[in-house]
Amino acid sequence: MNKTEPADPSFPVAHRQLNDVCAALEGVIVGQQEVVHGIVTAVFAGGHVLLEGLPGLGKTHLAKALAATLGLQWSRVQCTPDLMPADVTGSEIFSTTPGGGSEFVFRPGPVFAQLLLVDEINRATPRTQAALLEAMQEMQVTHAGTSRPLPQPFCVLATQNPIELEGTYPLPEAQLDRFMFKIKVPYPARDSLRRMLEISLDAEPANHLPVVLDPAEVLRLSALCRSVLVAEGCKQAAVELVLATQPASAAAHSPAQAHIRYGASPRALQSLLRSARVCAVLAGRSHLAVDDIASVALRTLRHRVLLKLESELEGHDTDTVLQEIIERWRREH
Amino acid sequence: MRNPTTRLFEAVRRRLLLLRLATALRSATWAAAAILAALTLVHLFVARLDVTTVFAAAALPWLVAAGWIASQRIPLEQCAAWADRHLEGKSAYATLLETVGDQTATSASPAVERLLLWLEVAAPRSEAMLQARPLQMRLAKPVMAMCVSAALAAILLQIPAQDTASRLSTSAAIPVSRTELAAGVTTKRGDPPAKGGTAAPAAAAQGSRGPAREAPTGAELAAATNAGDDSGQKGLASSTAPATGTSGSRASAGGREAGDSADTLEDTGFSAAWQGELARQLLTAAAPADSAPTRADPARAGDYAAAPGPLDDPSAMARIVAAPAVSPEARPRGPVGPAEQAYIRAYFSGSGASQ
């Protein structure tokens, strides 16, 4: 893999580069192909990812590997209940100038990075969580009346633990909606565990990863993904899928009417198409297919719908309900 | 648009036309079968229909289907959508049409170039898939149903319509019975009642066991009514019994209905010795002097109201003279009736004495 790839705007080259990134990550993060594809898709679609998984599944390792592969400047925030917003965004400190004067100087926080790993985000207080809202949506940080843009590309990888919920602050719906994907990190399979031992028993493979792309190429590929052709039928299909999750909609499917309290938002629709375009490029196409929308639908929608309380008590799962909706929608389109 | 894509769209258009033709044929065949069956039933149970009419009506769905097919125009967008969905087009064909149709789109953009390259590879593959895809007409069931319906219609329409017998089988029974009863009343008013005629029971038995015979016409019924003789009665009974069913058989079998004749106590089974002289005189006094109505006739309710009762007539009561007492030994021993015999036997068996 060569870092100095010629700046060819063609789709075949982009397809090859994206697959190179995925292959490099899969060489380190063994047995997590779905997770790797999801993260790469989100990065090139300009989105943020919420990783949910048990401890020890390689979430932090994945973030480090991604930063190394894409040549991104990255930083890490370990969230705790006493973490303050200024610890994330930065603060002004009183400093003396060489001429003998003094002034307040803004010291950027860890958010000023191209790849921000927010570990165990649900252990931070809602105030600190909210400090990330502007950064994730507006790609800027406002402090003391001054807005400072974040470096590009900017991507937030947040992790959270589905267990040990005591002393945590679940993310509010508004913040969850800012994440393009919510990716669940499963346990690796038997073969993957065996191979993982060979790779990472005495070494940190992420430290030795080659750089496949640089940030400029990431931006260029992101722009190329935005030029993917989207037919009216695909747009209509995406709209129908979002409407199918909204129980109050006339186009809602019966599982949505039975189990979902709040459906997906318009931001979900935007995320669907943005990420599906990257999937099309990953598949070597310059046009969007309904299959691309279907491939990203679950990870785009699972944190944006809210089940009814009685359905949760009956044991229904968001993923199960959404999969049923997606299958019905896929038969129609 | 490149040649492979154009060829594919034309092939898809032909396939869609064939599919619509199959749909139209299926619908027309089912409709024709239904029409044939319905009109055959109409012919059998409602009204006589001509074979030509029935089959002309069955041809109507075919005309409608032909007109529908002739009016079909399949746009290119529909071909593209079908190819995308069924030929693994992955929305490329629809995207191509929209891109070509969009005048503002730059055909030299990398995305369009890549799309055209992709289609050059995908279109022949889709065309091969289309050729390999079987055209399912699914006409076996409707054609079979239509053939069965047509065969049944051709056979059953040859049968003359059973409108007279079938339609009158239930409704005609009541008027015939009424006519027959009227004839019977007329006859019995003039003649002594037939005592268990031999012809009528035979006719009744024939009516219950024998095959159905043709019902008499109205003229025959009127003639039998006017004749008023036994032969007419027998002929009427024997002819109407099967067609009119149970009521006709009972009426023509000589059975006496309530109110047909005066009660002469002949059927009681009691002997004259038990009736006694007083009873005989009472009966004589109660007997009508003229042709007073002796049966319940709703049409003559006024006559019943005007007719005096036997005990209301003082002259009749005056004619009753007390008979001299006669010792039982002096009474003539007439024949003992069956009821008396049964009573006597029971009496003696109960008392332990022998006769």
Condensed to tens digits (0 to 9), the pLDDT of residues A217-238 reads 999 999 999 999 999 999 999 9
Asked whether the beta carbons of residue A229 and residue B81 sit closer than 8 angstroms, the reply is no
Domain count, chain A: 2
Q: How confident is the model at residue A252 (pLDDT cuts 50, 70, 90)?
A: confident
Residue B96: inside a domain? yes
The residue among B236 and B42 whose pLDDT is bigger is B42
Position B12 pLDDT exceeds 90: yes
Position B224 pLDDT exceeds 50: no
Residue A10 contacts B, CB cutoff 8 Å: yes
**Confidence at residue A174, expressed as pLDDT on a 0 to 100 scale:** 86
Residues A105 and A242 reside in one and the same domain: no
Residue A263: inside a domain? yes
Residue A13 contacts B, CB cutoff 8 Å: no
Residues A199 and A237 reside in one and the same domain: no
What average pLDDT score do residues A41-58 get?
A: 90
Condensed to tens digits (0 to 9), the pLDDT of residues B167-216 reads 444 444 444 444 554 554 444 444 444 444 444 444 444 444 444 444 44
**Confidence at residue B80, expressed as pLDDT on a 0 to 100 scale:** 92
Helix runs in B87-194, H state only:
92-101, 110-132, 140-156, 163-171, 173-190
Position B239 pLDDT exceeds 50: no
* Chosen domain end from A169, A199, A223: A223
Residues B189 and B131 reside in one and the same domain: no
Cα–Cα nearest to B99, from A287, A127, A61, A90: A287
What average pLDDT score do residues B10-27 get?
A: 92
**Confidence at residue A261, expressed as pLDDT on a 0 to 100 scale:** 92
Residues B11 and B143 reside in one and the same domain: yes
Residues A219 and A240 reside in one and the same domain: no
Residues B151 and B12 reside in one and the same domain: yes
CATH number for the domain that contains residue A100: 3.40.50.300
Residues B193 and B239 reside in one and the same domain: yes
Residue B257: inside a domain? no
Q: How confident is the model at residue B38 (pLDDT cuts 50, 70, 90)?
A: very high
Residue A170 and residue A306 in contact, taking contact as beta carbons nearer than 8 Å: no
Residue A155: inside a domain? yes
Residues A311 and A186 reside in one and the same domain: no
Residue A2: inside a domain? no
Residues B47 and B187 reside in one and the same domain: no
* Chosen domain end from B156, B185, B210: B156
CATH number for the domain that contains residue A285: 1.10.8.80
Smallest CA–CA distance, residue B5 to chain A, in Å, is 16
Residue A16 contacts B, CB cutoff 8 Å: no
Residue B93: inside a domain? yes
Residue A78 has φ and ψ, to the nearest 5°, of: -95, 110
Cα distances from A168 to residues A52, A162, A171, A318, in angstroms, run 14, 11, 9, 21
**Which two tokens mark B340?**
């008396």
Residues B95 and B35 reside in one and the same domain: yes
What average pLDDT score do residues A236-259 get?
A: 91
**Confidence at residue B294, expressed as pLDDT on a 0 to 100 scale:** 53
Residues A147 and A280 reside in one and the same domain: no
Q: Which of A12, A233, A288 lies nearest to residue B81, judging by beta carbons?
A: A233
What average pLDDT score do residues A78-93 get?
A: 89
Q: How confident is the model at residue A296 (pLDDT cuts 50, 70, 90)?
A: very high
**Confidence at residue A321, expressed as pLDDT on a 0 to 100 scale:** 93
Residues A104 and A150 reside in one and the same domain: yes
Residues B192 and B143 reside in one and the same domain: no
Position A102 pLDDT exceeds 90: no
- Structural domain including A173 reads 11-223
Q: Which of A11, A12, A291 lies nearest to residue B90, judging by beta carbons?
A: A291
Residues A267 and A193 reside in one and the same domain: no
Which helix (H) or strand (E) segment is A91 a member of?
strand A90-96
- Structural domain including B313 reads 271-288+307-323+334-350
Residues B80 and B39 reside in one and the same domain: yes
Domain count, chain B: 3
For residue B110, the chain A residue with the least C-alpha distance is A10
Residue B240 and residue B224 in contact, taking contact as beta carbons nearer than 8 Å: no
Asked whether the beta carbons of residue A285 and residue B90 sit closer than 8 angstroms, the reply is yes
Residues B144 and B241 reside in one and the same domain: no
Residue A1: inside a domain? no
Residue B293: inside a domain? no
**Confidence at residue B245, expressed as pLDDT on a 0 to 100 scale:** 39
Residues A218 and A319 reside in one and the same domain: no
Residues A139 and A37 reside in one and the same domain: yes
Residue A70: inside a domain? yes
**Confidence at residue B219, expressed as pLDDT on a 0 to 100 scale:** 45
A234 to chain B: which residues are within 8 Å by CB? 91
* Chosen domain end from A207, A223, A239: A223
Condensed to tens digits (0 to 9), the pLDDT of residues A127-182 reads 888 888 888 888 888 888 888 999 999 999 999 988 877 888 888 888 899 999 99
Residue A320 contacts B, CB cutoff 8 Å: no
- Mean residue pLDDT of chain A comes to 88
**Confidence at residue B327, expressed as pLDDT on a 0 to 100 scale:** 67
Asked whether the beta carbons of residue A227 and residue B92 sit closer than 8 angstroms, the reply is no
**Confidence at residue B347, expressed as pLDDT on a 0 to 100 scale:** 87
What average pLDDT score do residues B282-297 get?
A: 58
Cα distances from A240 to residues A175, A246, A248, B42, B250, in angstroms, run 24, 10, 13, 50, 78
Which helix (H) or strand (E) segment is A95 a member of?
strand A90-96
Asked whether the beta carbons of residue A290 and residue B94 sit closer than 8 angstroms, the reply is no
B95 to chain A: which residues are within 8 Å by CB? 229-231, 287-288
Residues B152 and B181 reside in one and the same domain: no
Position B253 pLDDT exceeds 60: no
Cα–Cα nearest to A166, from A117, A122, A119, A126: A122
Asked whether the beta carbons of residue B118 and residue A291 sit closer than 8 angstroms, the reply is no
Residues A146 and A262 reside in one and the same domain: no
Residue B55 and residue B25 in contact, taking contact as beta carbons nearer than 8 Å: no
* Chosen domain end from A181, A202, A223: A223
Cα distances from A273 to residues A276, A325, B95, B182, B262, in angstroms, run 5, 18, 15, 93, 105
**Which two tokens mark B272?**
């004259």
Residue A145: inside a domain? yes
Residues A253 and A313 reside in one and the same domain: yes
Residue B35: inside a domain? yes
B99 to chain A: which residues are within 8 Å by CB? 229
Residue A5: inside a domain? no
Residue A244: inside a domain? yes
Residues B21 and B148 reside in one and the same domain: yes
**Which two tokens mark A262?**
């709040």
What ipTM is given for this predicted complex? 0.79
Rounded Cα distance between A134 and A111, Å, is 11
- Mean residue pLDDT of chain B comes to 69
Residue B262: inside a domain? no
What average pLDDT score do residues B279-289 get?
A: 62
Residues A152 and A291 reside in one and the same domain: no
Residues B22 and B125 reside in one and the same domain: yes
A287 to chain B: which residues are within 8 Å by CB? 90-92, 95, 111, 115, 118
